[in-house]
């Protein structure tokens, strides 16, 4: 499911116009992004937790020349940890 399909499904499920559903989805994404940039976690009970994790700098191998070592810089990456209700729902599939 892509973003457009999500907006259409959300509009149908909660009886919203597509433009209102699009505003909701865009607002949700913007809010979570802003919180992660600020270093906060966003927890949706039962669904999961969005967080930003720092991956430290490390040495790696150049895939084009495996004998050459390269320095991989430190980076902050988004993480998602699934909640219990989501995990349980997927176990039933």
Whether residue 93 is predicted with pLDDT greater than 80 in this model: the reply is no
Model confidence at 92: pLDDT above 90 = no
* Phi and psi torsions of 53, nearest 5°: -120, 145
Q: How confident is the model over 43-90, as pLDDT tens digits?
A: 999 999 999 999 999 999 999 999 999 999 999 999 999 999 999 999
Query: Measured between alpha carbons, how far is 59 from 71 in angstroms, rounded to an integer?
Result: 5
Of the CA atoms within 13 Å of residue 16, those in its CB half-sphere come to 16
CA 58/CA 79 separation, integer angstroms: 19
Residue 7 is predicted with a pLDDT of 96
Q: Any idea which fold 3-86 has?
A: HU Protein; Chain A (4.10.520)
Strand order from edge to edge, sheet including 42-44: 42-44, 48-55, 75-82
pLDDT 10s digits, 17-48: 999 999 999 999 999 999 999 999 999 999 99
pTM reported for the whole predicted model:
0.79
For the chain, which residues make up each domain, given as ranges? Answer: 3-86
């Amino acid at each position: 499911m892509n973003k457009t399909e999500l907006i259409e499904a959300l509009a149908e499920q909660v009886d919203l116009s597509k433009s209102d559903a699009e505003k909701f989805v865009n607002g949700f994404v913007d809010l979570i992004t802003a919180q992660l940039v600020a270093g906060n976690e966003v927890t949706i009970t039962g669904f999961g937790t969005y967080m930003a994790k720092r991956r430290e700098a490390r040495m790696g191998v150049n895939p084009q020349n495996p004998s050459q070592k390269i320095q991989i810089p430190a980076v902050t990456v988004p993480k998602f940890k699934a909640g219990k209700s989501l995990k349980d729902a997927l176990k039933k599939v």
